Structure 1
Amino acid sequence: MTQQYPTVEQTIGNTPLVRLQRIPGSDDRGNVILAKLEGNNPAGSVKDRPALSMIRHAEARGDIRPGDTLIEATSGNTGIALAMTAAMRGYRMILIMPDNLSLERRAAMTAYGAELILTPASQGGMEYARDLAMKMQAEGKGRVLDQFANPDNPLAHVEGTGPEIWSQTGGQVTHFVSAMGTTGTIMGVSQYLKSQNSDVRVVGAQPAEGAQIPGIRKWPEAYLPSIFDAQRIDQVESIGQQEAEDMVRRLAAEEGIFAGVSSGGALVAALRVAQQVRNATIVFIVCDRGDRYLSTGVFNPR
């Protein structure tokens, strides 16, 4: 019999769920805090899931076909994931990103063969990038997948991340915590987990006033992702920049989990939840790896 080997895209998903051992230290409340390690995906983040989902479903509908040009506004991880998926499936990829984001993310996108357009953060950051993507589509320069409005984004988590968490916890998950950016992860996982047990509490992490945390956003009303449904979230925690950065350094130094700053923010929210409940199984998303933030200095010795 011929040996069967997986392709790269077949390794997306089925990421580990691991128990924290030293954070928050000895817990007399009986809670368990579990980290879903999405940095183990092949392009290094949770966004591998919706990137593949959006392209595969668009292909199935006949909206796109290999050889076409795809366009997307991104703050980093979705762009890297789309660049990888486009390379695997034969698309030209144009990515539009604010120029104040990390050098590692830019380099990863171009390594996969994507064309990168940097927009001045001073002109509006992601909002400006999103507007430019739609303008380029209107001019016939390519097809925008639009992670902010595309139902195939949260569908990836209804079909993958949510069922994995349910299975890995044996249905014991009581709380799910995620940073909120495009909101695809928290929307899809919430939909699935609440379909299994309506008592599961879903907690979102948003940036506090003035905080600049990669991967966590609080959108102006006009740019709120249309995939977002506030009714799917039970609680929102505002996360300060310093506490997110401090926590992600602790996550690496005390747990051996090297992650991006948004994961520190999600853990801050998870620990707040842990102080409010007993005998809970709290799952939070570690959405990417820390190595794509080294140039920001966040991991420099303090």
Structure 2
Amino acid sequence: MAYLTLEDTIGNTPLIQLKLIGGDSVRQRNNIILGKLEGNNPAGSVKDRAALSMIRHAEERGTIKPGDTLIEATSGNTGIALAMVAAMRGYKMVLLMPENLSEERKQSMAAYGARIILTPKTGGMEYARDLAEKMQKDGEGLILDQFANQDNPSAHYTSTGPEIWRDTHGAVTHFVSAMGTTGTIMGVSHYLKEKNPAVQIIGAQPEEGSQIPGIRKWPEAYLPRIFDRSRVDRVENVSQSAAETMARRLAAEEGVFCGPSAAGACEVALRISQTVENATIVFIVCDRGDRYLSTGIFPA
């Protein structure tokens, strides 16, 4: 008798309709807003897909083998996902992350056995990425490089995009995703645009001065190499305040407990719903809210 392994549970996440947020305005315009619950993945985020894809394909190419040390700069979710996949496939994992990220993220990575190197918050992710490069040059391990590795967006081209198309029966008109490494939006855009070029792809990024975990507005020199501007129809700015308020609303009004980057994407989806009719708008609920409890977003 064949049983599932943990890897088999990555993907095929639920696509659920928001019932209360947006209310009459959404209904009067005959719009539907759908959230894809990526927190249902075993390590709790959309990054599980990319982590498995990057490690599995590196193995197939012979770039890595069990027992090797892998290195990655991460703001959290990718690190947790890589730590899980490394644990299940027999790798040592070294993760570099800015010191100001949430305690839950650090502890989750450590629980999977990863070694964590905290970098100065003043240097942000850019410093963490530079240090990872130095460690690789010094022979301390191999970087998978979520920012340049095509196995990142390909995970979403082969799974997330097809799932959205299947579960909306091809009715999706708009797709909204927070933009961090940009792997999710790149892969899903590639797939959906092949199925229907009219589908609108919208990215969410933080407005100037806002800090939203999981969403970045990269300096040009650090723009992820996997990012292709032509695959995004437009980008919407979101404030930290709006993202955090929406995170609380999603939990209290819809029962959807997610982080601020997912809530930022929902904020953009609601904006879109005010300007269109007969639309099916899908946004990525990229992780769960329980890894942000120590940040104060959800006051007791």
**Coarse TM-score class (shorter-chain normalised):** over 0.9
Q: How does 1:10-159 map to 2 (within 5 A)?
A: 10-26=8-24, 27-122=27-122, 124-159=123-158
Give, in whole Å, the separation in 1 of the partners of 2:7 and 2:116: 23
Partner of 2:291: 292
Give TM-score scaled by structure 1 length: 0.98
Q: State the Cα deviation string for residues 169-206 of structure 1 (Å, max 9, x = none).
A: 00000000000000000000000000000000000001
TM-fit CA distance, 1:4: 1.5
Give, in whole Å, the separation in 2 of the partners of 1:23 and 1:203: 20
* 1:48 aligned counterpart, secondary structure: helix
**Partner amino acid, structure 1, of 2:37:** L
Give, in whole Å, the separation in 2 of the partners of 1:183 and 1:35: 18
Give, in whole Å, the separation in 2 of the partners of 1:177 and 1:156: 17
Give, in whole Å, the separation in 2 of the partners of 1:271 and 1:296: 25
**Partner amino acid, structure 2, of 1:212:** Q
Percent same amino acid at aligned positions?
71
TM-fit CA distance, 1:98: 0.3
Q: State the Cα deviation string for residues 224-269 of structure 1 (Å, max 9, x = none).
A: 0000001000011000110110001000000000000101100110
Partner of 2:230: 231
* 1:236 aligned counterpart, secondary structure: strand
Give, in whole Å, the separation in 1 of the partners of 2:121 and 2:240: 19
* 1:188 aligned counterpart, secondary structure: helix
Give, in whole Å, the separation in 1 of the partners of 2:267 and 2:281: 12
Partner of 2:257: 258
* 2:52 aligned counterpart, secondary structure: helix
Q: State the Cα deviation string for residues 95-154 of structure 1 (Å, max 9, x = none).
A: 0000000000000000000000000112x1100000000100000000000000000000
Give, in whole Å, the separation in 1 of the partners of 2:206 and 2:139: 36
The unaligned stretches of length 5 or more in structure 1 are none
TM-fit CA distance, 1:91: 0.2
Partner of 1:221: 220
Q: State the Cα deviation string for residues 31-85 of structure 1 (Å, max 9, x = none).
A: 0000000000000000000000000000000000000000000000000000000
Give, in whole Å, the separation in 2 of the partners of 1:216 and 1:178: 10
* 2:23 aligned counterpart, secondary structure: coil
Give, in whole Å, the separation in 1 of the partners of 2:259 and 2:42: 16
RMSD: 0.5
Give, in whole Å, the separation in 1 of the partners of 2:263 and 2:13: 18
* 1:132 aligned counterpart, secondary structure: helix
Aligned residues: 298
* 1:110 aligned counterpart, secondary structure: helix
Give, in whole Å, the separation in 2 of the partners of 1:204 and 1:101: 23
**Partner amino acid, structure 2, of 1:10:** D
Partner of 1:4: 2
**Partner amino acid, structure 1, of 2:285:** V
